[in-house]
Amino acid sequence: MVGPPHEATHRVFQHDPGLFSRVSRFLGVDMPPPVGAAILPTDLTEASPVERRVDTLLRLETAEQGSFLLAVEAQGKKHPEKQASWAYYVSYLWTKYRLPTALLVVCQDHTTAKWAGQQVSSGPAQVPTLTLRPLVAGPHNMPVITDPEEARADLVLTSLSAITHAAEPAVNGILKALSAGLQNAPEAVADPIIEFTAQGLAEARPRISGGTWWPWTCPSTSRTSPRRSARKDAPRDAPRMSCSSSSSAVSTSPTPYAAASWTATTPRFSANGSHER
């Protein structure tokens, strides 16, 4: 069974498909922002008893380059068979949809990120018929966002920053900035960010110092608002996000706030506390 960090690291891209464009500049590429997006089925199984599923699959529409597919994989550790699976995912999706297909692997530690970013080829050394070059987002290249104003300007990117730095000392500063950035955000904006962050850092909680976190009930298991259920004696400036132990098992069904389709006109929360389109 997959855990909360695995789910959060890829579902954040379902929640905000435009995040990939904003992340791409940290990966050494420059992808145009989408003007529309759709969440596609993740089941890649053919007429075979072997079930294959990619974590998140998006179809992104851009004004500059047309449509392309983005497969997002959350990878918690090295796996000797995973790279062959990724090559299958990409070739299958290319064949099925006849669209350019990109693969983004999101990691939470340097060792896994370095391994995931390796170029691998199928075929003899002289004939590398199929070459896989994943993009990798992890603690080695994701920004450390510790300024509250910068966090407020892009709450989703700040959440991903915290998730990918879950095992790093910098996570405390990121969480403080994220907490400050969430202070005036409406619940419809803040609650998904809080849930993603809490799930993404669920396994790192023992390493987070300074009383940064305290329990709340995950929205995936209760309708209780994390801000309403936070401890009354907690300091006002501390990040109000964590996940109770009862939520260690996360549903693999689509998140309730992840729309099946998305456009560039979807409201976003701006730095001045208002909604913008």
Q: What are phi and psi of 38, to 5 degrees?
A: -140, 140
Residue 143 has pLDDT above 50, yes or no: yes
Q: What is the percentage of the chain residues whose pLDDT exceeds 90?
A: 47
Residue 263 vs residue 147, higher pLDDT: 147
For residue 103, CA distances in Å to 4, 25, 87, 94, 140 come to 21, 15, 9, 11, 18
101-106 and 135-137 strand pairing: parallel
For residue 111, CA distances in Å to 22, 79, 84, 166 come to 24, 12, 19, 14
Residue 62 has pLDDT above 90, yes or no: yes
Confidence of residue 86 (pLDDT cuts 50, 70, 90): very high
56-62 and 120-122 strand pairing: unpaired
Which residue spans within the chain are E strands per DSSP?
34-39, 56-62, 66-74, 101-106, 120-122, 130-132, 135-137, 261-263, 268-269, 275-276
pTM of the shown model = 0.68
Measuring CA to CA, which residue among 244, 265, 267, 241 is closest to residue 181?
Answer: 241
User: What's the CA gap between 107 and 8, in Å, rounded?
Assistant: 11
Tens digits of residue pLDDT in 14-51: 888 889 889 888 888 888 888 888 888 777 665 554 55
Q: Return the exposure string of 104-132: e unless at least 16 CB atoms fall within 10 Å of the residue's CB, then b.
A: bbbbbbeebbebbbeeeeeeeeeeeeeeb
